[in-house]
Amino acid sequence: MLQCVQRNQLKVQFQKEFVLLLPGVDGIEASTIAQQIQHRITALQIPHAASEVRDTISISLGITAQIPQAQTDPEILISQADQALYQIKARGHIS
């Protein structure tokens, strides 16, 4: 995953979920990075014996982008990405 992001970008992990902060990256570029990460995870073919859905580990990604302002609450951005993630999961688009 870290091969898909640059040095000035940040990864923060929360248990099974994590956040990638990609300063200077728009939504289209963020989607491209997300797809690269997804393909690399899938290509690893890591067994996932506990899953009832797939035999190997997969990831779902929620993406949001914005140009922050001084008054922008970071929690809003995290909440938007979280909502996007759960919308993807609800539609069954887990790769």
Alpha-carbon distance values, 83 to 40, 60, 89, 91 (Å):
24, 12, 10, 12
pLDDT computed for residue 5 by the predictor? 53
Q: What is the pTM of this model?
A: 0.67
Has residue 39 got a pLDDT over 70?
A: yes
Q: Count the alpha carbons within 13 Å of 38 in the hemisphere toward its beta carbon.
A: 14
Question: Model confidence at 24, in pLDDT bands (50, 70, 90)?
Answer: confident
Is-contact 53 93, C-beta < 8 A? no
Has residue 91 got a pLDDT over 70?
A: yes
Q: List pLDDT tens digits, range 56-76.
A: 888 888 888 888 788 888 788
Question: Model confidence at 4, in pLDDT bands (50, 70, 90)?
Answer: low
Q: Which two tokens stand for residue 16?
A: 């099974």
